[in-house]
Amino acid sequence: MQNQNWRFFSRVIAVAVVTVLVVSFSTFAVAQKLPGSREAAPEAAPAGPKNWVVPASSIERPEDAGVRAHTNWVFGAAGGKIGAAKGVGPDFTVVQSYETPSSMGCLYKIPTSTGPCVPNINSPGGPQKGGQKVIVVVDAYDNPYLAYELGVFDAQFGLPAVNFIKYYANGSGSSCAGGSPPFDPGWGLEESLDVEWAHTMAPDATIVIMEACSSSWSDLLIAEYDAGSLAVGTYGGGNITNSWGSGEFSGETAYDVYFGVDWWEQTVFAASAGDSGCGAAYPSSSPWLVSAGGTSVYRKSTNLSFDYEGCWSGSGGGISAYEVYSATYTTSGIGTWADYQWGIFGDTQGRSTPDFAFNADPNSGVVVFDCAYASGTCYFYEVGGTSVASPSLSGIMNNAKNELGGGHVNPATGTGYHAAAEDTFLYSQLGTVTDYPKNFYDITKGSNGCKVGVGWDYCTGVGSPRGLLGK
């Protein structure tokens, strides 16, 4: 059942909404073409000497910084296909590389997770309960297949049905004002990845997709504002995840208000750190949000049991050139309002990323069910990139239910100040004898071009999560 109506937020930005409660699904034939022919995705090309394949939507171009954003997902091999769907439960031979909701739920110690700890697409399982309020996924362009994809994904892995809602950020000032965003195959797969893995880690949260009219910064910022307005105004807070970005650019600090200042009440923003190795990106460098880095999961060849997590060589992370330390509050940069890295750097350098990390190596990639990338023909794909990290970590933070936003009002006085509360909470555990090793996995192996070692580093931040405590 689908209902369409119009809503107006405080900036008089209209967004279209499609509400879909996924309950049951039809049988899916091999490589079935869904209605609505679309332009096919351009052939993905290897990224130089790196052992992954970059789709057209994820190519980072210096001239796009501050103008247009790119996705942060990649394939481990050309095409990335595990296999065509053969119904709700296709048969596949187990291989080491691709991770499932049950293997990730087990590795990251998510409560209520069922199923095997080793990757097996034929074994259902994953987190069965947990999460609250809403996770809003902000992406560009329209994926018309999302509700169907979520249904097949949930049925394949035995996950609870999702309450899923789609919005178009198509209000005044957007490039598709009053209409629906156009289709893009690469961004379409991005949306599939984001909603499926946010839902995996927080199965009880409502999942909202907020679709910007295009990947331009102007359209994405409209969507970001709408996402915050919706989370705070309708749900009383939640999580907002952004798996896109660009290189840093002068003037980026003017955009920081969109990522936790305008809408700060019990709402946590997150963004992917990027897939270009050591180096800062935006909005990952905004001091108000949680920057999501990437790890590699290594398994023993004898039985596929977990061996260790290392730094994924593609994970972004670095020192911002523009988000610098200041003694004066200006809604941007770091200072007393965002001093969570003071214990590491003092006031000697700018905002440094990432904050913590999740599996992102496409060679230990996660399973994604998508119909957009192949223009309406549906496949299970193995996908990596820090686009996996942002929605997954947002799901984990949502599941933890700490609701740390960008500030706190003291009930006794009715006043308060902006503060990057979630990041402060994450960093406060560094160096603790009991809580840090219990709540995080300290990653000391691998490299993204920056040094990786004990404690915080420019690839994985404080580490990868273990359980919900401390998130």
- Work out the percent of the chain whose per-residue pLDDT is above 70: 86
pLDDT in tens, 229-250: 999 999 999 999 999 999 999 9
**What is the reported pLDDT for 83?**
61
Nearest to 135 by CA among 197, 81, 84, 87: 197
pLDDT in tens, 160-200: 999 999 999 999 999 999 999 999 999 999 999 999 999 99
pLDDT in tens, 12-27: 233 333 334 332 222 2
Please give the Cα distance from 275 to 382 (Å, whole number): 16
CATH no., domain 4-465: 3.40.50.200
Domain ranges of the chain: 4-465
Cβ proximity of 240 and 167 under 8 Å: no
| Of 2 and 430, more confident | 430
**What is the reported pLDDT for 97?**
63
Nearest to 287 by CA among 233, 229, 342, 244: 342
